[in-house]
Amino acid sequence: MSFLACRPCGVPWVLKAGWLYKYVPRIKEVTFVVKVIADECVGCETCVPVCPVEAISMVDDVALIDQDTCTECEACVPSCPVEAIKSE
């Protein structure tokens, strides 16, 4: 399978078995949410710099994840030393 791009518009196409198909990526449905358990968070801020989209902020010494910004990559989950961040 080969990928080609339309020069005027940049739309990706797939060349498969001699036929051109418009490439439409499948969107993965998110079936979980990354959450901070506030009672377990110690406010160490180790999760803040590991978030690639800067979705984590500290509010009253507790990590808060902006669910509209979060991409559910789970980079923050292993960074928490007290395991207060979980994906459910």
How high is the pLDDT of residue 35? Answer: 93
pLDDT over 70 (residue 7): no
pTM of the model: 0.64
Task: Single out the residue of 73, 35, 34 nearest to residue 53, CA to CA.
Answer: 73
Kindly state the average pLDDT of the residues 29-58.
Answer: 89
Kindly state the average pLDDT of the residues 46-71.
Answer: 92
C-alpha distances (whole Å) from 67 to each of 5, 9, 14, 42, 75 are: 33, 32, 34, 21, 14
Q: pLDDT higher for 27 or 40?
A: 40
C-alpha distances (whole Å) from 20 to each of 23, 45, 73 are: 9, 49, 32
pLDDT over 80 (residue 56): yes
User: Which domains does the chain show, CATH number per domain?
Assistant: 1-29 (no CATH), 31-88 (3.30.70.20)
